[in-house]
Structure 1
């Protein structure tokens, strides 16, 4: 009997030691989402935050936060540029002023453990160029010659700006894992004129410009200790030339609730899954 009692006491002591060594719950992920409209998800229901930012409850940050059970501070905002990480941003809807939002870096703290960043498209001005390249005349001169040099220069200029942003994140949130996304596949090789009204040459120019910008983003992420997420490769078959049920990014005339030339809810959810996989979520 004594031997049995000693055995039971020993087992209880070992069990108690194991329980004491195991945290009651995993540490909460303190997640800050930074970025522009590709990250904010304009016109995807439901809206949250400042109306001028076009921030959706189904953007990739919200989807990822749900998967991670994270404490999310989402400050993504349509129209944001690299300078709006440290400067306030004036917002508007349909040309009507909707006020100024604080610098996105205000959301960062020393206890932040995860940061996602999608930025650069507005610095390079790609949406505006894509809008100017609309052409319903198959015999017209492609727009590539008009914009190629300007886009290339702005893409080069993005590098040091993005590097400074990444250094700024690290300085404010030294414990955080920083994840930087590229931009997705907007239009397939040679396009799909007139379904998407850009000439084949211009379709390749526009997606090529996105790819070149992604290269800059990747180089800066790697140089500054961040994780780069490629969104072009997994987007194959989900560009704006595809049907409403397959596309992740809308074309010039959306077939799903989303802004033109921006991800829809399916795309944002896919991006969240891709980022989550990279994080081992």
Structure 2
């Protein structure tokens, strides 16, 4: 009688260990997803900042917000709609500077606040007046205004942002803080056939936006805050990207909306940038 061929089998103990490990991995993944969803659903969310946070340009402004022009299409409201936080309030306001945040918005925060978002800094360096100069005046006047704004950004903005972020942390010690930045305005690849400002002015404005965002990112990192960069999400949807623009050009009928994101800019760029961090 021939001996039976030797059968190689995995020891039961080893197989059991594999199954235990797989079960642990699946359990951990499920727990992580549940925790993330629970954290978002239970968030006490406060939106701070300027017109890019209030939603100027997105339309559908709430009458109660007055000149702050808070929109139901703003990214913070869209986030609240999709995540159902325990509480949500936006105190962002058109035209706000860092000092306005300290004087008028910080009071909305408390130790129970768990999520804070903010865009701030553009008005501290005269963003609105710089854009007005570029639209209404010569190339030389535009470039001079941009140089003044970038000089101010380098000299005064880091300190102002540091003070503002420190105050936010003191007022909301338990919150995750997400700092969002500003988009570049122009697709320079299409500038040669795009009416309006010269390519020289557009290039200088894009560079100024990049500098502003870099200063904001550094200050956010120094404060230990999350930074959400929206520039890449606006690519293909900048001014001169005809029929695909997520930014307003000069709007004669409503000047305040000029150079601000549309509702699509909030839903297609700002909201995903925020959600990528919060889940």
CA spacing shift, 1:117–1:141, aligned 2, 3 Å: closer
- How far is 1:197 from its partner? 1.6
- How far is 1:241 from its partner? 1.4
Output aligned runs, 1:1-281, within 5 Å. Answer: 26=38, 28-48=42-62, 49-70=64-85, 71-87=87-103, 103-134=104-135, 141-156=139-154, 157-189=156-188, 192=191, 195-244=194-243, 246-253=244-251, 259-270=257-268, 271-279=270-278, 281=279
Matched with 1:91 is: none
Cα displacement string for residues 74-120 of structure 1 (whole angstroms, at most 9, x for unaligned residues)? 00100000000122xxxxxxxxxxxxxxx111110110000001001
Q: Give the distance between the partners of 2:139 and 2:163, measured in 1 at CA.
A: 38
CA spacing shift, 1:254–1:26, aligned 2, 3 Å: farther
Q: Which moves more between the two structures, 165-174 or 121-130?
A: 121-130
RMSD of aligned residue pairs (Cα, Å): 2.6
List gaps (5 residues or longer) in structure 2: 1-33
TM-score (norm 2): 0.78
- How far is 1:67 from its partner? 2.0
TM-score (norm 1): 0.78
Number of positions where the alignment pairs a residue of Structure 1 with one of Structure 2: 239
2:233 partner SS: helix
CA spacing shift, 1:273–1:258, aligned 2, 3 Å: farther
Q: Give the distance between the partners of 1:257 and 1:141, measured in 2 at CA.
A: 21
- How far is 1:64 from its partner? 1.1
CA contact (8 A) 1:32 1:107 kept: yes
Greater CA radius of gyration, 1 or 2? 2
List gaps (5 residues or longer) in structure 1: 1-21, 88-102
- How far is 1:187 from its partner? 1.1
Cα displacement string for residues 215-238 of structure 1 (whole angstroms, at most 9, x for unaligned residues)? 000000011000111111221111
Q: Give the distance between the partners of 2:256 and 2:264, measured in 1 at CA.
A: 10
- How far is 1:257 from its partner? 12
Structure 1 consecutive aligned stretches of length 4 or more whose deviation exceeds 4 Å? 193-196, 254-258
